[in-house]
Amino acid sequence: MTARAPTEPSELPALVTAPDARKGHGVALGGGGGYLTAGQATSRPPKGSRGLGAARGFDREKDDFYPTPDALIDPLVARHRRWLDGGVWEPACGDGAICKALQRHGVASVGTDLVARGYGWSRRDFLMELKPPADVDAIVTNPPFRLWREFAEHALGMDVGFVALLGRLQLLEGKRVSALFQETQLTSVMVSAGRVNMLPVVDGVKAADKGHNGMIAWAWFVWVRRRAVHDRPAIEWFTPEKAVRS
């Protein structure tokens, strides 16, 4: 596959402020899920790998696309709303889960993704972007697991004041990722005090939730960059809502 040239800032979509979310209006420009970079878009999981759905009978989604449940998004907004009001970029927007939740909370956002899933601006490789969209001061996303560290490094290289990445709690014990956390002054870790199913979407259809508890412990890894230097990251907990939104 031919490598793509880095994207110039002028080519990025502008931030769109959603109208009154209670009326169900607004332009679909964001979401939640994951994608692979241009160099890995055709890759497949290792043979025998079943990923997040292993214990629930689902095969691993080939592009690591697992829409982010509201139960994981709402607590982040409640805790860090002040840092989101400057506009949010969701660079792995998938089918729109994260930005739809942000819109519901009245937070303006723009979403991009390499893979077209009917929401946001497609064919945008986040790891090739040079600058964030105009009028954006935060990056919030659920990166593809296989590229989590690369997403973190690239997001932290952007000129934004707030970065929040959803990931597995076990990232804390990874040698390279833990070194990244220490070197970049991670602000806090928001740990989900309850397991949440993150279900794959295959051929446009979301897998049925069979009611089993999720096997993965999730956490938000947060960097608040427009604040005084701190000594060590804080650990916080939140209890995910189990109610299913219509």
What is d(CA 113, CA 128) in angstroms, rounded to the nearest whole number?
12
What are the φ and ψ backbone dihedral angles of 35, each rounded to 5 degrees?
A: -150, 165
Instruction: Tell which residue, 98, 104, 207, has the closest CA to residue 143.
Output: 98
* Model pLDDT, residue 33: 40
Query: Is residue 200 predicted with pLDDT exceeding 70?
Result: yes
Percentage of residues in the chain with pLDDT exceeding 70?
65
Give the contacts of 39 (CB within 8 A, at least 6 positions apart). Answer: 1, 3
Residues 140-185 have pLDDT tens digits of 999 998 999 999 999 999 999 999 999 999 999 999 999 999 999 9
What is d(CA 159, CA 32) in angstroms, rounded to the nearest whole number?
21
Name the pairing type of β-strands 201-202 and 205-206.
Answer: antiparallel
Residue with the bigger pLDDT between 178 and 38: it is 178
When pLDDT is averaged across residues 185-205 and rounded to a whole number, the result is 85
When pLDDT is averaged across residues 40-54 and rounded to a whole number, the result is 40
Report the C-alpha dihedral over residues 206, 209, 210, 214, rounded to 10 degrees.
Answer: 120
* Model pLDDT, residue 27: 31
- Residue at 19: amino acid letter: P
Helix (H, G, I), strand (E, B) or coil at 72: helix
Residue corresponding to tokens 């691993």: 60
Query: Is residue 7 predicted with pLDDT exceeding 50?
Result: no
- Residue at 80: amino acid letter: H
* Model pLDDT, residue 157: 97
Residue with the bigger pLDDT between 4 and 133: it is 133
How open is the CA angle 215-81-164, to the nearest 5 degrees? Answer: 45
Is the Cα dihedral 166, 168, 170, 176 positive or negative? negative
Query: Is residue 110 predicted with pLDDT exceeding 90?
Result: yes
* Model pLDDT, residue 53: 45
What is d(CA 134, CA 11) in angstroms, rounded to the nearest whole number?
11
* Model pLDDT, residue 116: 87
When pLDDT is averaged across residues 21-27 and rounded to a whole number, the result is 29
Name the pairing type of β-strands 162-168 and 188-192.
Answer: unpaired
Q: 117-121, 122-126, 172-176: which has the minimum mean pLDDT? A: 117-121
